[in-house]
A and B are shown apart, each in its own frame.
Chain A
Amino acid sequence: MAEPRSIDIKEQPGFRSIAVICLLVLYVPVLILMIFSLNSGSLVTHWEGVTLGWYGSALRNEEFHNAARNTLIISISATIISTVCATLAAIGMTRVKPWRGLAAAFMVINLPLMVPEIITAVATLSFFALIAGTFGLNFGIGNLILAHTVFCIPFAYMPIRARLEDMDLTLEYAAADLYATPWKAFKRITLPLLVPGIMSGAALAFIVSFDDFTITQLVAGPGQTTLPLYIWNQIRRPMTPEINAISTILLLVSILFVSVSFLIARRRAK
């Protein structure tokens, strides 16, 4: 009798080649970008030799420093605010009796995921222009933090809500049964078990804010250049491998951040 055919997808014909093509398409450009950051020539397309000089000039570059500072201020603020909002929203939408408008609230929170980003960007720009024109209000970099917070909320919300829905409600009943007031039950049971969800929510929000271009480009005022905007401005001039070096630094920061939050989440989940 013939061996029964495996239903493991890894054994299906063509699986390997398709997987390899996908991985190549995804990572070869990034790899080329990283390799050319080490190019000793001044062209990003012609390889001459190995040097770390572009990293040195990037790290000495005052404009890069300012852009990095702006990016970190905006991303970290937006991450903290959006994660707190998303946590409260997720609790309000899973741990209370169903209320009128629950579905609508869910829609509103997730709207930034569904509306094309350029529309949000134009709308945000008009909104800030309007309040600046009508009330003379301009929050400076606060405008960007506000805009980023709004589109970060759904990204932070998703993993937190998923974690809350997975959590055994009986645990909260058990806490109440053992004399924990609702606040103590939240602090001692729900919140500690929610930490992995909050961590991955925050990591997602940070990454989304960190590399946002469209909305930032429209909303940013003078002196509010972020790293993605800085890179964009550089490539409109004759490009040097310094831009590759900057991009590589950005990439490594992102990878580091995601890895750390993943490890924390995995440790806490046990």
Chain B
Amino acid sequence: MGIALKKRVAAPQLPSRPAYGDNQTGTHLPPRAGSLNGVIVPEQPGKNAIEVRGVRKVFGTGENQVAALDTVSVSIRENEFFTLLGPSGCGKTTLLRLIAGFDFPSAGEIMLHGQDIAPLPPFKRPVNTVFQSYALFPHMTVAQNIGFGLEMLGKPKGEIEARVAQMLKLVKMEALKARRTSQISGGQQQRVALARALAPQPKVLLLDEPLSALDYKLRKEMQIELKRLQHETGITFIFVTHDQEEALTMSDRIAVMSAGKILQVGTPRDIYDRPAERFVADFIGETNFLAGTVVSKKPGVATVKFDSNATVAAGYPEGFDPTGEVTLVVRPEHADLVPDPAKGTIAGTLSNIVYFGTDTHYHVRLDGGENFIVRHQNSRSSPVTYETGAEVGIQFEEGAARVLKD
């Protein structure tokens, strides 16, 4: 996982993303106010596609009440690939279902381009969903599945056919358009589900762990495919996943969720390099946690002392005032081993060496008893080799250590 993270390059940003449907023969929804066959057309396309304002969702009654979402607020920008990331039961799917309209919030508003859609039934929201199970209609062909949404919108037959043909091309499924959905493979079903949800040109596309049923290789392919589709269509994607690697590689921004709350929203780099809370640091990537005491601080940087009396400068999140005993976080690839224990920020004994091909993980038992993992990228000219049992020092890169809220 970490290998992919290190190799990750920023996704190429197109100079401008043409709105999907431009340069095509009058097939896209006109940006006018009003309604199309009962489905609302937002009045003024604003900067935010979706604004979730103070949404609560409570299941059950009385003593059995469980808050699946605990006063969540988040803004999702237009044309953004936005990911809701968290472990199962964190409320990410509940939030998606509220946006889709399969459930209604106990409190709060969900604004779509400035209009509250929270009380609308799903068939009146210009929002489409790609389901985890795909939910393709088994009694219809691939083409009929893709055309279903347009048909329900009451579009003329010629327009439906043109759009279906265009969608089949977009997901490269032209050859299989007359097949029943039971006669195509899982990866192909996934493409049909995508085409079906994109065909009505929703304002927002919701994706509920759509890749989880695919095998590893296909999943990798579909990750790239999804990014391409998002670029080509210019539609806002809200993607739900529990796979942190998927979230980091695909998203423009990520919201990390836990126990019905959003803990942090930011770009993959923000989330990975500057986690706001211990949960975020722990959930995303591999992390070392160290205990220390704050001895002094300047704005944004605190000096933290370890039990070994060594000190380190550590950044901390905005709006957080670290004092006394704190937890420091250091990513394994932001530290390196030095042969001389005295030259390291901290020191310990090498307990295990795990070779991964592209890099090597050194497990160090610190003098304080904690474990610390150092990830070293392998190269042809690694100057030093280490043996288990050796006394080593660990040096942090500049800005590697951060103080976290627990």
Contact = CB atoms under 8 A, between A and B. Distances in A.
Interface of A: 168, 170-171, 173-181, 184-185, 188-189, 192-193, 270
Interface in B116-165: 121-124, 127-129, 131, 133, 135-139, 148-149, 152-153
A170 B193 CA distance: 13
27 contacts: A168-B135, A170-B133, A170-B135, A173-B102, A173-B122, A175-B148, A175-B152, A177-B100, A177-B101, A177-B122, A177-B123, A177-B127, A177-B128, A177-B197, A178-B149, A178-B152, A178-B197, A178-B200, A179-B37, A179-B38, A179-B39, A179-B152, A179-B153, A179-B200, A181-B123, A192-B139, A270-B180
Contacts of B38: 179, 181
A264 to B, nearest CB: 14
Contacts of B102: 173, 176-177
Contacts of B100: 173, 177
| 9 A-B pairs closest in CB distance | A178-B149, A174-B135, A179-B152, A170-B135, A176-B122, A180-B152, A177-B129, A179-B123, A176-B123
A173 B122 CA distance: 8
B365 interface: no
Given A168-B133, A270-B182, A178 B128 contact: yes
B202 to A, nearest CB: 9
A192 B133 CA distance: 20
Nearest to B100: A177
B357 to A, nearest CB: 40
Interface string B74-109: 000000000000000000000000001110000000
Contacts of A176: 101-102, 121-123
B375 interface: no
B139 A179 contact: no
DSSP majority for the A interface?
A: helix
B268 to A, nearest CB: 28
Given A174-B131, A178-B196, 6 more contacts: A173-B131, A174-B135, A176-B101, A178-B149, A178-B152, A193-B139
A174 B152 contact: no
A168 B37 CA distance: 27
A231 B139 CA distance: 44
A193 B128 CA distance: 22
A184 B133 CA distance: 22
B152 A184 contact: yes
B140 to A, nearest CB: 9
Contacts of A173: 100, 102, 122, 129, 131, 135
Contacts of A168: 133, 135
A185 B37 CA distance: 15
B151 to A, nearest CB: 9
A48 B340 CA distance: 113
A189 B196 CA distance: 15
Nearest to A185: B123
A189 B137 CA distance: 7
A179 B148 CA distance: 9
A173 B121 CA distance: 11
Contacts of A179: 37-39, 123-124, 149, 152-153, 200
Contacts of B129: 173-174, 177
Contacts of B127: 177
A178 B38 CA distance: 12
B366 to A, nearest CB: 50
Contacts of B124: 179
A178 B148 contact: yes
A91 to B, nearest CB: 18
A184 B152 CA distance: 8
Contact of B135 (A171, A180, A181, A270): A171
A185 B148 CA distance: 11
Contacts of A177: 100-102, 122-123, 127-129, 197
B180 to A, nearest CB: 8
Interface in B259-293: none
A208 B87 CA distance: 53
B127 to A, nearest CB: 8
**Residue of A174, A175, A179 with most chain B CB atoms under a 10 A cut-off:** A179
Contacts of A175: 137, 148, 152
A171 B137 contact: yes
